[in-house]
């Protein structure tokens, strides 16, 4: 499922909602564009779960994502290096903010 969203001044037409995802993931190119602060001390290893080569860069904490003007989510995301813009939400996260998708 895809949803329109905005991070700071960057408007993106779609994000991915993965109903089985346990991690919140964003690509490094989005983080660089919006100049979000990166936690340099946390990293993750995706070698056991990734089907393509991806590298975890670090974590961005309390990233604000606007789904609609009055609905802003603040969460930590794992940053990965990948050639395409990508943001992956979990259904659990949306339930946490009472934005349930079935």
Between the ranges 40-49, 73-82, 84-93, where is the mean pLDDT highest?
73-82
Distance CA 11, CA 4 (A): 8
Q: What pLDDT is attached to residue 1?
A: 47
Q: DSSP letter at 53?
A: -
For residue 61, the domain's CATH number is 2.40.70.10
Q: Does residue 102 lie within any of the structural domains?
A: no
Average confidence score pLDDT of the chain: 76
**Greatest pairwise CA separation for the chain in angstroms:** 38
Contact status, residue 1 vs residue 26, Cβ threshold 8 Å: no
User: What pTM did the predictor assign?
Assistant: 0.74
**101 inside domain:** no
41 in a structural domain: yes
Range of 57's domain?
A: 2-96
User: What's the structural domain count of the chain?
Assistant: 1
């Amino acid at each position: 499922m895809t949803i329109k969203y905005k991070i700071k001044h960057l408007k993106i037409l779609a994000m991915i909602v993965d109903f089985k995802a346990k991690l919140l993931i964003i690509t490094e190119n989005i983080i660089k564009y919006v100049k979000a602060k990166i936690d340099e001390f946390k990293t993750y290893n995706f070698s056991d779960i990734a089907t393509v080569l991806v590298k975890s860069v670090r974590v961005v904490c309390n990233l604000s994502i606007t789904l609609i003007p009055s609905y802003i989510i603040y969460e930590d995301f794992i940053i990965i290096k990948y050639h395409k813009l990508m943001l992956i939400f979990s259904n659990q996260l949306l339930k946490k903010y009472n934005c349930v998708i079935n």
